[in-house]
Structures are given as structure tokens and as C-alpha cells.
Amino acid sequence: MIQVRDLHKHFGDLHVLKGINLDVNKGEVLSVIGSSGSGKSTLLYCLNSLEQIQQGSVHVDGIDVHAKSTDVNKLRQKLGMVFQQWNSFPHLTVLENVALAPRIVKGKSKEEAIAMAEKQLKHVGLGDKFKHYPNSLSGGQQQRLAIARALAMEPEYMLFDEATSALDPEKVGEVLDTMRLLAEEGMTMICVTHEMGFAKEVSDRVAYFHHGIMEEIGPPEQIFGAPQSEHTRKFLANVR
Amino acid sequence: MQDSISFFTGFGVNDLWFLGEAALKTLWISVLSISIGTLLGTFFGWVLHEGKLAATLTIAPVLDVFRSVPLIIQLVLFYNFAPIIGLNFDPFVSGVVILTFYTAALVANVARGGIEAVPPSMRRASRSLGMSYWQDLFHVVLPIGGRAVFPAWIGVVLGVMKDSALVSVLGYVELLKASQVLITRTQEPLLILAIAGAFYFALSYPISRYAHKFEQRWSK
């Protein structure tokens, strides 16, 4: 379970997150929506300590993420993350991209790491691309590679930071399908997204962020059908 | 009739061997300086990237001196003044020391450029997989940044190899010094400098060819 309590984050004078409280249960899919600059992505970075926080706390399965005594490298293995930019390692083949972290971080043998990489690549539909280099793949394929790379660490949570925003429109579907598949398999997911259809259809809950505040959170029927907040209503009216 | 003494003799096969040996000495002094200098320079580059303020105040000015002062002046100064502080190095060691620092000063900026060529988002992604700072540095930054600045590094290598000719001013008989010795004896500067040039070319050309092949392979 992920527990966020009174989370504040500043970038210099900019107050990006203003006291966020949030619980995400195991097996749940939470979509985070909101306009650019509302602090959605920053929230994700605070969950796995890629960003430091100024106030409040984040606990993942009871571990205080920002405590000095916490081994963040170990903690991050619990939280797979997929970014807007796919960030494939260009010097490694598709298979090596996925096998690298299990080998050097988890200390798996080469055979085990490769077996895990093959399994995850087949899982995301890249079973025929093992020997390819990332630059020969399309954006959608590279993003699925990034998903496989995160899954190979056997995370308990997956964080998606606008995973489809940098893709050509025709490639968005294949990545969303992969995310949908993970959700169906019971993966706990927090998806920062601009894909309202996905948020509506796949999420258990949807959170709307506005200027660093979590304005509203609830089941998709509430957020999309009967939003409580005026800001949520305005935002959804604009994106529809 | 009185026999005349011949001071000048023509260029022979033995002289070619002499030049060949001198070319090997050029290669040896270059390999040593470039290897140690590259390791040192990579470390300096990392310091420049990581510790911006501290590095600006400490090693950056020193590297600037090595980069800015002509190599020949560095060599002569070091060779003649090091004994004052008790460092009695022969011309070879003096040459290696100065060429190493000179290489390191050039490589430091190349290395820093290499580290900065890896997008922060890529480093973030590798850290998000649980990689430590050092794992990210060795498995992601080094191979990706290294490839980005490989052509620049090859430029440094070829430059230093040719600049190693300046060690001749200390009396170390490498390729250029050997050529000067032979020119004095044979009085055939055109021929001998052409041969010396060919030796330099023979040392440099394979490096640039190999480098080009690597770049082509990586760009696939």
C-alpha cells in the first residue's frame, strides 16, 4: 500500500505540491489527471524518491520513502516506472535493455536475467525483437520495451508518467493496450495520463490535480459523470 | 694523393631500421601518455561535472594551464626545473609525465561533454530501475557518453601522438629526433622527412580507420 501524507514539494520558490494526502491500495488502478504544471508528474517522482520532499511523508508497504535510513535503490525495485520519454539504452539490444537491471541490480545470473527479459518482452508483444536495437523500433514499441524493462524487476507497483504523451497518435493504442493488460492482471498502477478514455475505462479511481492540490478523487463514474469540484468540471469540459 | 675523410654518408637500410625503432619509441611514449592521461582525464571530467563549484576553484584552473601553455614550453620547464625540487627524471619520463597531464587536460573536457551528452531523463530511468549512482555511471553513462565523444577522443589521441614529437627537444630519440640525426649525417632532409612523415601516417591512419569502423558499427 502507498500512503501519502501532507506532502509538500517546492522547486525553489515554486510550490508544486501543496499538502497531498492519498492512499493507493494493492491491486488498485489510480489515474491522475489535470492540466500541465498541476504537479501530477512530480507526485510520481516523490513516490520513488527521484525527487526529495520538503514536508510530509510517503510510505510504501510501511517503508518511509524519504527517511535517511531507507535504501532507495532497493525500494525502487518495488516501484517500476515508465516515463513520457521511453529512454531505451541505445547501446544495448532490446533483450539486453531488459536484462541489464535484473543482472546488475538484483544479481541474477545471465541466464536468469535473459529468461526474465524474454518472458517480459513476450508479455508486451515484443517477442520477435530480441536482437534488435532500440533505434530500429517505433515509439510505441520502445515504450512497450520500457514497460518490459520495468516489469523485469518484478515490481509490486507500476508508475506511468504520461506514457503515451510523446507518441504518434496511431501508436498510443498499443501502449494503452499493454497498460490495460497489466491492470487486468491485477498490477497496482498509478497512471498520470491525458487519455481520458483510458482513465474512465480502466481505473478504479481517478484523481484530479489542480495547481498542486488534489482537487477531487473518486470512482471514474463520479469524476466523469458528476464531478463535485468546479475546477474538475471546467477541466473536463475543455478536454472533451 | 691524400685520402679525404667523408663526413656525410648516404641513406641506407640500417637507417630505415633506426627510424623504425624511433617510430616504436614514439608509439610507446604515446600509448603510455594517452592511456594514463585518458584515465586521469576521465576522472577530472567527472569531477568537473559533479563538483561544479569545488572543481572550478581547484582543478579547472590547473587544467586550463596545461591546455593553454604550448606543450614545448611545458616540456622544457618541467625537464629543467623538476630537478630543483628533487625530481631527476630522464627525458623519457619527463615526456611521459607532461604528455600525460596534457592529454588529461584535453580529455577532461571531452569526458565532461560525454557525461552531459546522456540526457538526465535517461539517468533518471536507470535510477528508477534501482541502479545505484555507480551502476548508472558505469553501465549507462560510460557506454552512451563514451560513444558520443569517441570521435573527439580520437582527435585528442591523434593530436597527442603527433605532439609527442616535441619530446625530441629534451633529447629523447623518438621519430622526429631520429630524423634530425639522420638529416645531419646524410644531408638528405627531403627523403628522410618524407620517410618520417610516412611513419607518422602509418601510426595514425590505422587508428582513424578503426575509429571510423567503430563509429559505423555503433550508428547501426
Evaluate if residue A73 carries a pLDDT over 90: yes
A-to-B residue pairs, Cβ atoms closer than 8 angstroms: 61
Query: Tens digits of per-residue pLDDT, B183-209?
Result: 988 888 999 999 999 999 998 999 999
pLDDT digits (tens, 9 = 90+) for A218-230: 999 999 999 999 9
pTM of the model as a whole: 0.85
Residue of A nearest to B128 (CA): A76
Partners of residue B131 in chain A, C-beta under 8 Å = 73, 101, 104-105
Quote the CATH superfamily of domain B32-172. MetI-like (1.10.3720.10)
Residue B12's region, left for phi above 0, alpha for psi from -120 to 50, else beta, is beta
Q: Is A47 exposed, middle or buried (0-12, 13-18, 19+ CB in 10 A)?
A: buried
pLDDT at A17 over 60: yes
Chain B contact probe: residue of A44, A86, A87, A116 with most B CBs at under 10 A: A87
- From the list B163, B151, B197, the residue with the least C-alpha distance to B30 is B163
Instruction: Report the complex ipTM.
Output: 0.89
The pLDDT value given to residue A83: 94
Dist CA B22 CA B154 (whole Å): 23
A215, A232 in Cβ contact below 8 A? yes
On whether any CB of chain B is under 8 Å from the CB of A101, the answer is yes
Q: Do B130 and A76 touch (CB under 8 A)?
A: yes
| DSSP-derived 3-state class of residue A240 | coil
- Count Cβ atoms within 10 A of the Cβ of residue B14 and give its class: 0-12 exposed, 13-18 middle, 19 or more buried: exposed
Considering the domain A27-35+74-237, what is its CATH architecture?
Answer: 3-Layer(aba) Sandwich (3.40)
| Sequence-separated (6 or more) residues with CB below 8 Å from residue B51 | none
Calculate helix-pair angle for B91-116, B71-81, nearest 10 degrees: 130
Hunting for cell 572550478 — which residue is that? Answer: B56
Ranking A24-33, A41-50, B97-106, B185-194 by mean pLDDT, the lowest is: B185-194
- Provide the mean pLDDT of chain B: 90
Give the pLDDT confidence of A127-162 residue by residue, as tens digits: 999 999 999 999 999 999 999 999 999 999 999 999
Q: Provide the pLDDT confidence category of residue B4 given band limits of 50, 70 and 90.
A: low
Give pLDDT, residue A240: 65
- Which one-letter DSSP state was computed for residue A109? -
Q: Decide if B119 touches A, using CB distance below 8 A.
A: yes
- Among candidate residues B82, B89, B104, the one with its CA nearest the CA of residue B38: B104
Find all residues with CB under 8 Å of A33, minimum gap 6, and list them.
Answer: A40, A192, A193, A194, A196, A199, A206, A207, A208, A209, A223, A235
Q: Which strands form A2-11's sheet, in the order they lie side by side? A: A14-24, A2-11, A55-60, A63-64
pLDDT higher at A240 or A41:
A41
- Among candidate residues A142, A138, A89, A92, the one with its CA nearest the CA of residue A114: A92
Q: How confident is the model at residue B7 (pLDDT cuts 50, 70, 90)?
A: low
- With CA atoms as reference, the chain A residue closest to B143 would be A91
**What pLDDT shows up at residue B87?**
86
Residue B103 in grid coordinates: 592529454
**Share of residues in chain B with pLDDT > 90 (%):** 56
Domain range summary for chain A, segments of one domain joined by + = 27-35+74-237
Alpha helices in chain B (DSSP H): 13-50, 52-57, 59-68, 71-81, 91-116, 120-128, 133-136, 142-163, 175-186, 189-219
Distance CA A126, CA B41 (A): 41
Q: Which of A73-82, A92-101, B12-21, B137-146 has the lowest mean pLDDT?
A: B12-21
pLDDT of res. A165: 87
Higher-pLDDT residue of A113 and B6 is A113
Q: pLDDT at position A74, please?
A: 93
